[in-house]
Structure 1
Amino acid sequence: MIDHVSLQCDDLAASRRFYETLLGALDITVAMDFGDALGLAGPDGDPKLWLGKQTTGGTQREIHLAFTAPDRATVQTVHEAVTALGAEVLHAPREWPEYHPGYYAVFVRDPDGNNVEVVTHA
């Protein structure tokens, strides 16, 4: 349904480190680098997440992004990786039965204050 998402970042280098660490376990890497904009893609090479320098000024509002993980072990791997980066953990990995049985996720804060989730539905 979504073709791509683009985030404006106050510190593009910090955001790149965060998202490369967070998404590495999901086999998502930087596929295009224009210096002031980065396109991240999965194995198909088609960038779906773009990071760019903040250009519109002002305070941005929190965005929630959720990425699909294949299993609980991957959710745990992501949690450990971003914790090592010093990212704020909003909710440690756990099952969220109020969403549906098997909904297992971690929620963390990116360098720009966005709420980023990695979830498996298995």
Structure 2
Amino acid sequence: MIDHFGFPVSDIARSVEFYLDAFAPVGLEELQRVQTPSGALVGFGSAGHPFFWLHEGARGVQQELHFAFSAPSREAVDGVHERAVASGIEVLHAPRVWPEYHPGYYAVFLRDPNGHNVEAVHHTF
């Protein structure tokens, strides 16, 4: 049910080096790197699917965590969005395709009550 998760790090280069070195025996690889306005976003995983993400964050500041639930269809993603709107939940990004991740990445992003960024995503490959 969990599709992927991510969290901020204060030193992206050092963190990437740590995870690639320490978890090489379990097959963890860097699979994707996206440059965002706030810095690098680095995806790790295996078998071509990034499921663990790190992003550049500020030192000494509590920052949001991120996790995504797998959705069985685009309609399910839309359903999450509809329920969020009906319940007054903050919608960070309405459902759409995110081609910067991959051409079939369809997701909605919400803010949970603790300030975290939570997502429902459907992958069409």
In the superposition, the TM-score normalised over structure 2's length comes to 0.49
How far, CA to CA, are the matches of 1:110 and 1:71 in structure 2?
A: 22
State the distance in 1 between where 2:89 and 2:113 align. Answer: 8
Q: How many residues in Structure 1 have an aligned counterpart in Structure 2?
A: 66
TM-score (norm 1): 0.50
In the alignment, which residue of structure 2 is the partner of 1:109?
A: 111
Partner of 2:102 in structure 1?
A: 100
Q: Look up the SS of the partner of 1:87 in the other structure.
A: coil
Q: Distance in 1 between matches of 2:76 and 2:108?
A: 10
2:69 maps to 67
Q: Secondary structure at the match of 2:92?
A: strand
Instruction: Measure, in 1, the Cα distance between the counterparts of 2:62 and 2:87.
Output: 23
Deviation at 1:61, TM superposition (A): 3.0
Q: Describe how 1:1-122 pairs up with structure 2 within 5 A.
A: 61-122=63-124
* Structure 1 gap ranges (5+): 6-58
Amino acid at match of 1:117: E
- Helix, strand or coil at the partner of 1:90: strand
In the alignment, the residues of structure 1 paired with residue 81 and residue 67 of structure 2 have an alpha-carbon distance, to the nearest angstrom, of: 15
| CA distance in structure 2 between the aligned counterparts of 1:105 and 1:113, rounded to whole angstroms | 18
Q: Which has the larger radius of gyration?
A: 2
Higher strand share: 2
Over the aligned positions, Cα root-mean-square deviation in angstroms equals: 2.0
- Report Cα offsets for 1:21-63 as digits up to 9, x if no partner: xxxxxxxxxxxxxxxxxxxxxxxxxxxxxxxxxxxxxx85311
Structure 1 counterpart of 2:114, one-letter code: D
